[in-house]
Structure 1
Amino acid sequence: MDSTVAAPRPQLAVIVRIFAAMALATMSALVKLAGEAGVHLSEIVFWRQAITLPIVFVWTLVVADIASLKPVRFSAHLVRALYGITGMALIYSAVTLLPLAEATTLNFTAPIFAVILAMLLLKEKIGKYRWSAVGIGFAGILIVTQPGSADVDPFGVAIGLAGAFMVALVSIQIQDLNRTETAQGIVFWFCLLTLPLTACFLPFFATAHDTTGWFLLLGVGLTGAAGQLLLTASLRFGSAATVIVMDYTALIWATGFGWLFWNDLPGPTLWLGAPLIITAGTIIVMRERYLRLRRASAGT
């Protein structure tokens, strides 16, 4: 029996996914705090991966076995690593440049970009429902980012949207990897392959840190690893369509952290635009679930 398969438990899946969103929102807050403490982006990314790698290895030994890490398509892991580390650097940069709630909201645009990429790369036919969702989502982006306004850093917005685009690109790459690779193998090789790359930047940007700096880096690594493992665990107990909407609870945590650490509460434009972006993502997820079920039914 495949050790990655578990009996469906949708309520547990939703709870686990909420904790995953909390862990990743906490990681984003720690990334922002680390940047303000003088830790360079390259160091943050390096330690995020370095701490995650042994945790994923131990987790693999618990839930499966070491053989499940053997890659079938090593070149595909290389491509995923390049896409993933680029996306990670962009997302972390956006977190340091923008208020936490705004940066988190821009991450929610990834499903919108995924629809466009599916059409361009996979030649998938996009119907009226998903195109409507894309339109709703971009309307939300315009409201949140306020083009031409001095209230939001346009460079930070561009970086955040680029990061979301890379997340969408990575999701398509992972979808392809899932055909031949295990979930733990995908995470393990991503960490292992990107460690040497990020280590190359350390001689140029690494600096001495006080205890607070090291604790922040440790926190980034631990919460990032926890978020990654919880995301994977949620999909063992429930379908993506069931749990992915819970990712939007990260905005609640991001807003709370923004108020707690920076006395920063989002303005009205975020509360007007974020629901549109979240609605767009939800429509896309629900529509893709419907199409997948219809294809499965037609094949029986």
Structure 2
Amino acid sequence: MHSAPSQNPALAASLILAATTFIAATTLLAKALGTDALGAPLHPMQISQGRFMFAFFGISAAVLALRPRFQRPHWGFHIGRTSCGWAGITLLFASVAHIPLAEATAISFLNPVFAMLLAIPLLGERVGPWRWGAAAIAMAGALILLRPTPAGFQPAALLALGAAAVMGLELIFIKKLSGREGPLQVLWVNNLLGLLIASCAVLPVWQMPSAAQWAALAALGLVMACAQACFINGMARADASFVAPFSYATLVFAAVYDFAVFGVVPGWVTVLGAAIILVGAAVLAWRETRPRPAGPPPASV
């Protein structure tokens, strides 16, 4: 077990906002690498391999400088968490090459909904009407973004939906890891395992990146490492109910970056679907972090 840092809501909010700018930047870099913006498009698995490689280098440098005391990792939970994280980020990187960043980001916000659904069989949790209602609202927003009509359906949106589902499973493993190990150890082990998994998976599709693509891959990994560090430290310094709304700023930054670099203007369907998903996610976050009465757990929440 590790000692928790002191509570500081203002610092927590700043850290979470910083994390959202970094996370949105990683999707922007992934889009540039997955399209012809920097040369011949790279395969999503190569983009995720670069993300884990350079993030591991950055976090290893921090470990060498800070020399934290590591304890024995729970390898089973780490392997499960990292496998899901690698699969989720690869699917997300694949989707942003074909659909607007704002849409892919909004759909990825469904991961808490999938985590709630998976917690029923995997953690034995019981789900009450409030949580089912929040999930239904978020899923309605996703359905709008998927545009399930012959004229508007975008198959790439299913990649983002798959990313959200796998990342929902990752949250189950993160919940099991919570409190067991220090943040820097979790980051280092996660990126070490991610690099190993991604390096094996990329072999059939790897191609030599251009100089600009190498620079973008390095930036992607280092920016993701910064995002992870900010997010974990922000979550540790305030209640989840306080910091959760700030994480939704990722959607705003993704839309701004997409417009500034690629000239993509979100349409009314994107705005409507994203807003509905955010409402559902916010209701679910509020319900998940609401104080529970002492004593035996209620029959439903």
Structure-1-length-normalised TM-score = 0.90
Instruction: Tell whether the 8 Å contact from 1:60 to 1:66 is kept in structure 2 after alignment.
Output: no
Identity of aligned residues (%): 26
Instruction: Tell whether the 8 Å contact from 1:55 to 1:225 is kept in structure 2 after alignment.
Output: yes
Per the TM alignment, residue 64 of structure 1 is displaced from its structure 2 partner at its CA by 6.5
More moved, 132-141 vs 194-203: 194-203
Distance 1:147 1:64 in 2: 52
Q: Deviations over 1:129-168 (max 9, x none)?
A: 1111111111111222221153351x21111111001111
Instruction: Tell whether the 8 Å contact from 2:70 to 2:185 is kept in structure 1 after alignment.
Output: no
Find the counterpart in structure 2 of residue 42 from structure 1.
45
Q: Deviations over 1:183-238 (max 9, x none)?
A: 32222222112322322244432222322111111111111111111111101211
Stretches of structure 1 that go unaligned for 5 or more consecutive residues are none
Amino acid at match of 1:192: L
Would you say 1:119 and 2:120 are equivalent positions? yes
2:70 counterpart SS class: helix
Find the counterpart in structure 2 of residue 262 from structure 1.
262
Distance 2:234 2:184 in 1: 14
Determine which structure has the larger helix proportion and give its number. 1
More moved, 205-214 vs 6-15: 205-214
Find the counterpart in structure 2 of residue 57 from structure 1.
60
Find the counterpart in structure 1 of residue 85 from structure 2.
84
Distance 1:44 1:171, change over 3 A: same
Distance 2:181 2:102 in 1: 34
Amino acid at match of 1:142: L
Count of aligned positions: 292
Distance 1:286 1:189 in 2: 31
Amino acid at match of 2:68: D
Find the counterpart in structure 1 of residue 191 from structure 2.
191
Find the counterpart in structure 2 of residue 137 from structure 1.
138
Question: RMSD in angstroms over aligned alpha carbons?
Answer: 2.0
Distance 2:202 2:241 in 1: 40
Stretches of structure 2 that go unaligned for 5 or more consecutive residues are 297-301
Instruction: Tell whether the 8 Å contact from 2:19 to 2:227 is kept in structure 1 after alignment.
Output: yes
Would you say 1:13 and 2:12 are equivalent positions? yes
2:248 counterpart SS class: helix
Distance 2:241 2:177 in 1: 19
Instruction: Tell whether the 8 Å contact from 1:98 to 1:156 is kept in structure 2 after alignment.
Output: yes
Find the counterpart in structure 1 of residue 245 from structure 2.
245
Distance 2:149 2:65 in 1: 52
Distance 1:7 1:62, change over 3 A: farther
Per the TM alignment, residue 126 of structure 1 is displaced from its structure 2 partner at its CA by 0.9
Distance 1:194 1:7 in 2: 30
2:204 counterpart SS class: helix
Instruction: Tell whether the 8 Å contact from 2:12 to 2:233 is kept in structure 1 after alignment.
Output: yes
Find the counterpart in structure 2 of residue 285 from structure 1.
285
Per the TM alignment, residue 179 of structure 1 is displaced from its structure 2 partner at its CA by 4.7
2:224 counterpart SS class: helix
1:144 counterpart SS class: helix
Structure-2-length-normalised TM-score = 0.90
2:5 counterpart SS class: coil
